[in-house]
Amino acid sequence: MFEPIKNKKIHQQVSEEIQKMILSGELKLGDKLPAERKMAEMLNVSRTSIREALRSLEIIGIIESRQGEGNFISENFDQVGLEPMSLIFTLKNGKFKDILEIRNIIEIEAAGLTAERISEERKEVLKDLLNDLINAESEAERVAIDKSIHYKIAEYTNNILIVTILETISSLMIYFIKDARLKIVKNLKVDNLLENMHKNIVNSIISGDKNKAKQAMKEHFDNVYLSIQDNEEFDN
């Protein structure tokens, strides 16, 4: 299972060994790792090195420590990548528009792929979400449904990387501007603009028209840009 570790920074090699086993399929989501003492024996390293490696993996969301139970491979990788991306974003003086631009690029293509690949059953899910959005009674409810529609479109591309990247970017958006989605949704509520944009997106996807779906998503993001262009909070 594990291979003995030799020289250089031991805790980094332990971390790399665990990640290698995840990539190879030897360790799967939710798997419990051996006790620290057992891992130290198997890898021929100190328990301190094991703890340092596990701590570093826990910080980036790969390992989950459960009190009284032990260490497990995380079953939820939504936050993996957020910390390093947040650090890079901050050090490079990233702007909110940078987040919107990358979402724009990803989600326009995602809409086109989903239009090509969506099943009849999944079309019904999008129809139900659209209906829920139209009948939502509060801004908080609209935010939750808006997010669900965008996530479902990403999921229905059948491309796990698109989903993972979108989740990380969405987390980054929340990380830097509190209630960012809520503020955008409020701005787009005028004249039922929010509902109408999502109608165009969903109906285009359901029709199976790839280009029309991409255009509908582009128009959505164009309106998002317009809704925040004079808001100083989004310029920071």
Q: Which DSSP string do the residues of 174-205 spell out, in sequence order?
A: HHHSTTHHHHHHHHTTGGGHHHHHHHHHHHHH
The mean pLDDT of the chain is 85
pLDDT of residue 169: 82
Q: In this structure, which topology does domain 10-73 adopt according to CATH?
A: Arc Repressor Mutant, subunit A (1.10.10)
What percent of the chain has a predicted confidence (pLDDT) above 90?
39
Query: Over 90: is that where the pLDDT of 184 sits?
Result: no
Tell whether the model's pLDDT for residue 81 goes beyond 70: no
For CATH 1.10.10.10, the residue range(s) in the chain are: 10-73
Please tell me the predicted confidence (pLDDT) of residue 83.
59
The pLDDT of residue 72: 92
Decide which of 145 and 179 is more confident. Answer: 145
Considering the chain, what percentage of its residues have pLDDT values greater than 70? Answer: 85
- pLDDT of res. 234: 64
Q: 5 pLDDT exceeds 80?
A: no
Q: What is the mean pLDDT of residues 98-116?
A: 94
Q: pLDDT confidence of 77, banded at 50, 70, 90?
A: low
Greater pLDDT, 182 or 57: 57
The class (CATH top level) of 82-235 is: mainly alpha
Residue 229 has pLDDT above 80, yes or no: no
Q: Where in the chain is the domain with CATH 1.20.120.530?
A: 82-235
